[in-house]
Structure 1
């Protein structure tokens, strides 16, 4: 399907969401046409608003750096039919702009320095090896999502935050509700409250008894500022880190493993040149673009994007998957080239809201994939995947399960 068709009520084209059935890793085919003919074009979003869909790499970067384009809509809320457009809650860093956003980001930035990320490498390697050991002991045969891709980032973010990993089933269930589009607003609100209450309780305990974990360090760092963060702000930041800290990375690990192991020659080439894992990870991040419906912005003033006038009060969607397949930036963009020279992909966003944990995610991906290829050279999909195995209706593209053998 190359055209999502117009909205029956308004005549405006619907937001493109259809992946080609024979090419599940490729975004909606209409993006290529839009990049060529209408790079800033009107669309009707599932949330009920009309928006400007921005499809070219250069224009997306401009949108994500323009201070007149607010992030108050956050992530992919344009895809939610029940999207509540009220003001963001305290501590919702991804929905805040300017000084308020910078205030919270400064609290976190010290947790994601090069030195601190490097110090986490042994932990990531330990967790990765532990799960491979368990698969080898129980196999052959495993679900790579359940047994490997999901627990690695989940366990790491729990250790960082000081969250007991024994509670991971509960928070993973609620995070799945929040990144999906199928639940109604009441269900989403309940999941949000459970996560916020859980983190607020943990923050309260760290206020009384600090430990060597990220939440305790945020509290200590906040006390040195003119405006220390409140418990609700810290709880919301904790939810953001807990959900974003494992969902995107887990789905990237699973999808990347599928792309690599489905082609024995590709896997063998990377196994033979392990020093190229960094390049390979960047290419997989670009190619897969797991934030599959882009990022929403709101115009606070009249602006011009890609030569198109955008009025104050208009919404825009920066189509990350389209920008990452832009022919003007990435030659043969629909091809996986694990030796592709470094280019500035958009998978971690761009500008002031660029993903604060991107270096941690890169490190997790490099270790997980390199170790998987080295220790399980015969790894391969156990069966062809049905379309239902893919998360086509979630904020984060991914796999619900990945049966493998070796």
Structure 2
């Protein structure tokens, strides 16, 4: 293998050989957007150099959705890493740090403002490179920039199921090294990744105070939403409602909601969760529909259904199978007759399969697993509506509500 790689490298042009060495710092896949950062300052030949590496089978391509994705196979990467000089490695790391911070800002704006789910996919594809950039910022003692980066990507990391990894990122920063704004961002990111109710409440409440202190309405609203959710889990309904009132005040008076749809939508989602935990399903569904209407009114592609799916997973992990089933049914109705809704419904079906399995309904769990594995195939929405309602009835029976 080494001899084959060495022979391939000998016939590479200078630009391709340089890019080959530099790509070795990436321990996973990367998108085309990252190639120029890794190639810097020699970006003019970056695309043609990448093409040359692909032609010589030194770089493999495997797309994710609409995003082109590339990687060095591990034996190839190890060989390339041995040829990378320390000075050049540090230069590449600095370029990646700059790229990661700039890209995180851009992706955050697209996700929070327009609800751009392709930006979530971009974070997933470039997660390894973003982590490299974050590490470089920390190592360079650019702590506030590192805090901004991790705050910028906490939402897509959470949506992609990488909360544990994201929480580990925040563990690399020390509170005493951060400015007040940096500390508020760091606390909000930690709250976003945290799933222990008592810890989440303490962290988020501190973040609210700090964010208001530095006059950042967006951060304060996010933090108040987190603190409210934690209060619900602690069954402190009064505190939860008061925190949502606080968040709602920021949204109404100080927030540019067209650039922060996420915050505006999560206030009614939080109220829906509170209503559900108090046993008022009708009110819960009303709040969730209001959230979806807000997203549509603001012209955002933000998916309330995706949030309800995540909430359903959390409810299932807490043993609240009846609540999880209600959330899934509401998410299904929110999707409506969307022509492109099959992928999202397949995700809902995966959660439904887990709920059915927890209920002991093996046949239903298997049916849902089949739907979840259908990929991009069109689904019979009428049949799915019926099955979701059956799941709600089954969960109610098991929980003793019937």
Q: Quick check: TM above 0.5?
A: no
Q: Whose strand fraction is larger, Structure 1's or Structure 2's?
A: 1
Pick the structure with greater CA Rg. Answer: 2
Q: Whose helix fraction is larger, Structure 1's or Structure 2's?
A: 2
Shorter-normalised TM-score: what interval?
under 0.3
Which structure has the higher relative contact order (CA within 8 Å, separation 6+)? 1
| TM-score when normalising by structure 2 | 0.24
